[in-house]
Amino acid sequence: MSEMQGRIALVTGASRGIGAAIAERLAADGAHVILTARTAKDLETVEQRIFEVGGNATIAPLDLAEAGSIDRLATAVRERWGRLDTLVMNAAMLGTLTPVPMIDAAEFNRVLTLNVLAQQALISSFDDLLRASEIGRMIVLTSSVGARPRAYWGAYGASKAALENLALSYAEEVRNLSSLRIAIVDPGRTRTAMRAKAYPGEDPATLKLPSVVADQIAELLSSGFETGHRLVID
């Protein structure tokens, strides 16, 4: 029996790419997956694929950056299940790749709102539900530019650096208080819409599929990793 059998899992940014692949893999492994993203139609497509192979899912269309949206979702999960076993924080915004002096303040605010502030709100709203699980796990998707700065990637890289610090600080805070474990995952070069936007001339055939990332995350969730673990997928 899979380690995910019967678990309640929430995947953000689950309408396409890596998020959709993770949601489908966790559902295939027996989890009931809550799918969140802004576009209901795309979520319904992922949900249908899960249903077609015998999995279970619930869609929750919402904008994580919208005030109150995360609290409402947490309330719904609390009332229906009373716990959350797995939280996969995948949703993110790339923004425009540009020199630091040229970063547009309004766009930078949107990047930080989704990539950092909304992620902290997820931790805050789901903290008690994750701790209520005997097998609570949180997976945080990052990027290599969060740890290794790259020209023109300052806005996105700064948001990922902040997210990693936030998640790992939380990991230390709950280390001795609950069974919750937190891991940072760098998916590496993957065939996604975000990657295509960042590297428009790149041949997508040279990149791994999102399903490869999903498989490794599923393996990580079954491995009994130590909190603060970092997985880099080549």
Instruction: Identify the CATH number of the domain in which residue 114 sits.
Output: 3.40.50.720
pLDDT (0 to 100) of residue 5? 93
Q: Is residue 79 part of a domain?
A: yes
Express each pLDDT in 127-174 by its tens digit: 999 999 999 999 999 999 999 999 999 999 999 999 999 999 999 999
Q: Read off the pLDDT of residues 52-70 as tens digits, 9 standing for 90 and up.
A: 999 999 999 999 999 999 9
Confidence category of residue 1, pLDDT binned at 50, 70, 90: low
List pLDDT tens digits, range 95-120: 999 999 999 999 999 999 999 999 99
Residue 82 lies in a domain: yes
Q: State the pLDDT at residue 117.
A: 98
Question: Does a structural domain hold residue 127?
Answer: yes
- Mean local confidence (pLDDT), 18-35: 98
In this prediction, residue 234 has a pLDDT band, given cuts at 50, 70 and 90, of: confident
Number of domains in the chain: 1
pLDDT of 182 reads 98
Report whether pLDDT(46) > 80.
yes
Half-sphere exposure of 190 (CA within 13 A, CB side): 26
Q: Does the residue 166 lie in any domain?
A: yes
Residue 211 domain-assigned? yes
Which member of 152, 156, 170, 199 is catalytic?
Answer: 156
Contact 120, 166 (CB under 8 A): yes
Q: Residues 14-36: what's their mean pLDDT?
A: 98
Residue pair 123/45 in contact (Cβ under 8 Å)? The answer is no
Query: Does residue 110 fall inside a structural domain?
Result: yes
Q: Which residues contact 201 (CB under 8 A, 6 or more apart)?
A: none
Interval 204-219: pLDDT, tens: 999 999 999 999 999 9
Domain holding 132, by residue range, is 8-232
The verdict on residue 3 lying in a domain is no
27 in a domain, yes or no?
A: yes
Catalytic residue list contains 156: yes
